[in-house]
Amino acid sequence: MPQSANVNRSIVLQQRPQGAPDADTFRLDESPVPVPQEGQVLLRTLMLSLDPYMRGRISDAKSYAEPVAVGAVMVGGTVSRVQASRHPDFQPGQLVLCYSGWQDYALSDGAGLNKLGDDAQLASRALGVLGMPGFTAYMGLLDIGQPRAGETVVVAAASGAVGSLVGQIARLQGARAVGIAGGADKCRYVVDELGFDACVDHRAPDFAQQLAAACSSGIDVYFENVGGAVFDAVLPLLNTKARVPVCGLIADYNATTLPPGPDRLGLLARTILTKRIRMQGFIIFDDYGARYGEFFAQMSRWLDEGKIKFREDVVDGLENAPQAFIGLLEGKNFGKLMVRVAPD
Amino acid sequence: MPQSANVNRSIVLQQRPQGAPDADTFRLDESPVPVPQEGQVLLRTLMLSLDPYMRGRISDAKSYAEPVAVGAVMVGGTVSRVQASRHPDFQPGQLVLCYSGWQDYALSDGAGLNKLGDDAQLASRALGVLGMPGFTAYMGLLDIGQPRAGETVVVAAASGAVGSLVGQIARLQGARAVGIAGGADKCRYVVDELGFDACVDHRAPDFAQQLAAACSSGIDVYFENVGGAVFDAVLPLLNTKARVPVCGLIADYNATTLPPGPDRLGLLARTILTKRIRMQGFIIFDDYGARYGEFFAQMSRWLDEGKIKFREDVVDGLENAPQAFIGLLEGKNFGKLMVRVAPD
């Protein structure tokens, strides 16, 4: 189902999921392509980023951002081409990084649009290694995690968009990087291709023991992006003065109730006290927006020098975005997940 | 039972408590007064500090410090007089701040002894407002909590050695101070004498609602020294970017098992994430020892200027230390608890 010049396909939130999103969560709507008014640009989506944070946006639980309304177009970062422009700063054909959501076309008044120049390679990188996921890994690890040479850094979803970079940046600081991933293929990739010191399969029945063995000197930085059973295995391994940047909790996103007891809230507080741990949540652009330039320059340098590798998992067709997103929450993607909405 | 020149009374750990310490936890032993060897000083205890952290020392659960062995003398900070000296740096009669523990006499090689000069007033202040509790309040609040003018700072045990100072220092930074204390007398003292903006009685059946009403703009800094039900009431009130220095969890110290479910560990992590909270444990002298001079100078200045008030709860007689300590864990003290072991 290719992109059309006359129809705007959009994926809207049909109903809020109870637990995991399913086939009834989203719906594909069609409408006429909107017409830009004076001061507006019409954007045509080429590439759509799918990210775990979107699970929060389709829930009405209180969070850091307003939820997507039922019936509204799903939000999301995109790389788009300017299709028509009545805005003095934009010309048809220009490539921009924007937040058009899960649809073929969107209008913009220019606010928040970032021109990507003519570098075709940037189109996907801008959604991954050089975009929000890369910025998240960079700031969370370096500003909150503050790994030192010889320390052990642990990150889950280690073959994913954020985790893969956390471990590689940790190694560039001289730290040991221990990844956690789902399945032998991903673990092999994390060690052999990304250069982590070790990677443990969280599906293994003796996962906690394997993690302890891989972290024989304990854990100094745990970059939290999953929560759940992984955090349970990490908690007893945290060293005195460990740092825990909290960027996501994907294992809990589909939960509708709290798990059964005992209640370990006090246990976590006691661990933070007795081990003098710093645990800190962050939302990348809200907390670090002013430092995006610093990140972009450093990460570009590392990419040029071949010091950072990344992997993209590209799904074709806007209509396949819902299924790809559901798979993302189950760990089915392998690398930064994005949807090619149009070949160009 | 006054101090004797010939007998060293000491309170030893008789058995580790299961839950709250009781009459069988400690025992009073008597032994000859030790004789200093070359390079040693003999110290005679005048004043013994009783502090919540001591509950951790009589447990064999893993913590940041070695537990007191069964049969060993209880540890604790003291103000003592040099009774005899074969150490070139100390003369009989000098007043020192030391860590002699729950006993009349102790030998020292001079390491860790701090001379207090001739200022008799310093003897008790050195264990409270100018000592470990004051230092804890100062660094935890200012270095980790970082209150700004107009923000709301909440602290429990607000009439106690640490809490009373946290609120007063918060007010000196221009922040609102909301205390939590047990009973109307303590709450009145916290507001009327210490100048907090409000104080809520944690024994009130509608405690959580009262706390919410006292913090109508939410909580920006929660100085954690109690845990338990107080933290449960605080958690939903924490603002985005709140800071939570974790200095103690007295409500949990006597617990022998985790409380029943649901398991809220993930709820705490989710709150830290979505509200971008920084939660950080600290152990005062381990983490901030090098800044004691800075604290001492600033707090002395505030005391001279009449900007800080404090209250001491002095119990007479070493033999009463166990009962006073048991009461401390139940919130029975009113102000910084210490034992006058000898009038001088």
ipTM of predicted complex:
0.90
Same domain? B277 vs B150: yes
DSSP, collapsed to helix, strand or coil, labels residue A290 as helix
Tokens encoding A313: 């998992």
Q: A7-13 and A26-32: which strand pairing?
A: antiparallel
Say if residues B300 and B130 touch (Cβ distance below 8 Å): yes
Please indicate, yes or no, if residue B12 is contained in any of the structural domains: yes
Residue B171 covered by a domain = yes
Q: Please check the confidence at residue A14 and state whether its pLDDT lies above 80.
A: yes
Strand-strand pairing, B278-281 and B198-201: unpaired
> Both B278 and B152 in a single domain?
yes
Choose among B228, B249, B281: nearest Cβ to A277. B281
Mutation site, B53, B263, B265, B270, interface A, largest A CB count within 10 A = B265
Q: Under an 8 A CB cutoff, do A280 and B282 touch?
A: no
Q: Does B266 contact A258 at a Cβ distance shorter than 8 Å? A: yes
Helix A132-139 vs helix A292-304: angle between axes, to the nearest 10 degrees? 100
Task: Say if residue B201 is in the same domain as residue B277.
Answer: yes
**Do A219 and A244 share a domain, yes or no?**
yes
Alpha-carbon gap, residue B192 to B185, rounded angstroms: 10
Give the angle B319-B321-B326 at the CA atoms, nearest 5°. Answer: 130
Nearest to B269 among A227, A257, A261 (CB): A227
Helix (H, G, I), strand (E, B) or coil at B238: strand
pLDDT values of chain B reduced to their tens digit, one per residue, 344 residues: 789 999 999 999 999 999 999 999 999 999 999 999 999 999 999 999 999 999 999 998 777 778 999 999 999 999 999 999 999 999 999 999 999 999 999 999 999 898 888 776 777 899 999 999 999 999 999 999 999 999 999 999 999 999 999 999 999 999 999 999 999 999 999 999 999 999 999 999 999 999 999 999 999 999 999 999 999 999 999 999 999 999 999 888 788 889 998 999 999 999 999 999 999 999 998 999 999 999 999 999 999 999 999 999 999 999 999 999 999 999 999 999 999 999 98
Q: How far apart are CA B263 and CA B125, in angstroms?
A: 42
State whether B262 and A266 contact (CB < 8 Å): no
Q: Is the same domain home to A162 and A238? A: yes
Contact A265, A240 (CB under 8 A): no
Residue A333 has pLDDT above 80, yes or no: yes
B300's enclosing H/E stretch is helix B292-304
Given a contact cutoff of 8 angstroms between Cβ atoms, the answer to whether B163 and B155 are in contact is yes
Whether B112 is covered by a domain: the verdict is yes
Residue A239, min C-alpha distance to chain B (Å): 11
Nearest CB to B264; choose among A56, A258, A276: A258
Whether the Cβ atoms of residue A5 and residue A33 lie closer than 8 Å to each other = yes
Mutate to test the interface with A, among B279, B283, B288 (most CBs of A within 10 A): B279
b/e map B51-71, b = 16+ CB within 10 Å = bbbbbbbbbeeebeeebbeee
Q: Under 8 Å CB-to-CB from B148, ≥6 apart: which residues?
A: B173, B174, B175, B220
Q: Do A269 and B282 touch (CB under 8 A)?
A: no
Phi, psi of A2 (to 5 degrees): -80, 165
Residue ranges making up the domain that contains A54: 7-128+310-340
How far is A264 from B268, CA to CA, in rounded Å?
10
Which helix (H) or strand (E) segment is A176 a member of?
A: strand A176-181
With an 8 Å Cβ cutoff, are B268 and A265 in contact? Answer: yes
Residue A108 counted as domain residue: yes
Confidence (pTM):
0.92
Residues 6 or more apart whose CB falls under 8 angstroms from that of A205 comprise none
A214-226: average pLDDT: 97
- Residues of B in CB contact (< 8 Å) with A are 56, 62-64, 224, 227-228, 231, 240, 246-249, 252, 255, 257-270, 272-283, 286-287
Looking at the structure, tell me whether residues B149 and B112 fall in a common domain: no
Rounded to an integer, the average pLDDT of A118-140 is 89
Provide φ and ψ at B103, rounded to 5°.
Answer: -160, 165
Cβ neighbours, 10 Å, residue A245: 27
If asked whether residues B77 and B191 sit together in one domain, one would say no
Element (H, E) at B48: strand B41-49
| Least confident piece of the model among A175-189, A244-258, B267-281 | A244-258
Same domain for B165 and B121: no
**Whether residue A147 is found in the same domain as residue A215:** yes
CB atoms inside a 10 Å sphere around CB A308: 22
CATH number, domain of A18, equals 3.90.180.10
The pLDDT of residue B254 is 81
Query: Which residues does A contribute to its contact with B (CB < 8 Å)?
Result: 56, 62-64, 224, 227-228, 231, 240, 246-249, 252, 255, 257-270, 272-283, 286-287
Residue with tokens 């920084």: B278
Cross-strand partners of B98: B78
Do residues B295 and B135 make contact, with C-beta atoms less than 8 angstroms apart?
Answer: yes
Q: How many CB atoms lie within 10 A of CB B259?
A: 16
Contact B249 A275 (CB under 8 A): no
Q: What is the pLDDT of residue A175?
A: 98
Looking at the partner chain, which of A227, A262, A276 has a beta carbon nearest the beta carbon of B283? A276
> Does the residue B151 lie in any domain?
yes
Per-residue pLDDT at A43: 97
Q: Which amino acid is at A62?
A: K
Structure tokens at B207: 């405690």
Beta strand B278-281 pairing with A278-281: antiparallel
Helix B132-139 and helix B292-304: axis angle, to 10°? 100
Best mutation target among A273, A284, A286 (most B Cβ atoms within 10 Å) is A273
Look at residue B93 in the predicted model and tell me its pLDDT.
Answer: 94
Does any domain span residue A333? yes
Residues β-bridged to residue A47: A79, A340
Q: Exposure of B145 by Cβ count < 10 A (0-12 exposed, 13-18 middle, 19+ buried)?
A: buried
Q: What is the pLDDT of residues A69-127, one digit of tens each?
A: 999 999 999 999 999 999 999 999 999 999 999 999 999 999 989 888 877 677 789 99
CA B242, CA B253: separation in Å to the nearest integer? Answer: 25
The CATH number of the domain holding residue B251 is 3.40.50.720
Contact (CB, 8 A) for B55 and A270: no
Q: Residue A32 forms beta bridges with which residues?
A: A7
Taking a C-beta distance cutoff of 8 angstroms, is the pair A242, A275 a contact? yes
The first and second tokens of residue A20, run together, are 């995991």
Provide CB contacts within 8 A for A31, sequence distance 6+. A7, A8, A10
Residue A251 has pLDDT above 90, yes or no: no
Residue B100 maps to a domain:
yes
Q: Write down the pLDDT at residue A118.
A: 76
Same domain for A116 and A148? Answer: no
Q: Are residues A121 and A144 in the same domain?
A: no
Name the domain count of chain A. Answer: 2
* Residue A256: both structure tokens together: 């509708």
Instruction: Determine the distance in angstroms separating the CA of A287 from the nearest CA of chain B, rounded to an integer.
Output: 9
* Contact (CB, 8 A) for B203 and B183: yes
What was the pLDDT predicted at B54? 95
Q: Could you tell me if B51 and B93 lie in one domain?
A: yes
Alpha helices in chain A (DSSP H): 54-57, 122-125, 132-139, 163-172, 184-188, 207-214, 228-234, 265-274, 284-288, 292-304, 321-329
In angstroms, the CA B5 to CA B44 distance is 9
Examine residue A215 and state whether it is found in any structural domain, yes or no: yes
Q: Tell me, what's the pLDDT at B90?
A: 96
